[in-house]
Amino acid sequence: MPKSLKASSSIAKSPRKQQSGFTLIEVMIAVLILLVGLLGVAGIQLISFHNNQGAYLRSQATFIASDFLDRIRSNPAGQQANAYDSVTVNSGSAVTTPACLSSTSGCSGADLADSDIADLAGHFALNPPTLPNGSATVQRVNTGGFDEYIVTVFWSEKDWSGNGSQDARATATRQVQLRTIVR
């Protein structure tokens, strides 16, 4: 039994080499893993930015179309004058407001419709425009005693669904269409 004690005491006396810190390779591997994680986070941020930008443009287009439909509904005299029947505006449309807006005599329904159309065109003539390469169409369709007004707003945005570099991505045309029925 004393021999085993002697063996263990010799092990206890042997000098131990103590490790202090990481080796350079371990540090490089840790940095590499960290960089891969950060690249993943950056990719997720980029996708999130694109989705937020698309949602913002859709909400702006919906607001523009909804606002114009509200203007049509609030101007029955303009409806009867057929002032909203077929309207197309884009970034090159002239934005002129009727003079009756500043006069004391007031505006007719057709003049108010012209003002509404000028306001609609103003969204696309701003610098920068509310929607990139934006345009809008308004159509009236008679549906058996009722008039249906269809407002369609178009704009362009980068198509992120395809492969390619930033410069090689195609431009996609998006649209929002709202309808209302008026008696």
Number of structural domains the chain divides into? 1
Residue 160: inside a domain:
yes
- Is 12 a domain residue? no
pLDDT value of position 64: 96
Report the pLDDT value the prediction gives residue 25, as an integer from 0 to 100.
87
Q: What is the pLDDT of residue 99?
A: 84
Q: Does residue 86 sit within a domain?
A: yes
φ/ψ of 33, rounded to 5, equals: -65, -40
- Partner residues linked to 177 by β-bridges: 152
Domain of residue 161 covers 27-182
Quick check: is 55 in a domain? yes
Residue 133 is assigned to a structural domain of this protein: yes
Q: Does residue 16 sit within a domain?
A: no
Give the pLDDT band of residue 117 (cuts 50, 70, 90): very high
pLDDT recorded at residue 52: 86
Number of H helices, E strands in the chain: 4, 4
Query: 141 lies in a domain?
Result: yes
Interatomic CA distance for residues 113 and 73, integer angstroms = 11
The structure's pTM equals 0.72
Euclidean distance between CA atoms 125 and 67, whole angstroms: 17
Tally of CB atoms within 10 A around 62: 14
Is 62 within a domain?
yes
Q: What is the pLDDT of residues 126-172, one digit of tens each?
A: 878 889 999 999 999 988 888 999 999 999 988 766 665 555 667 88
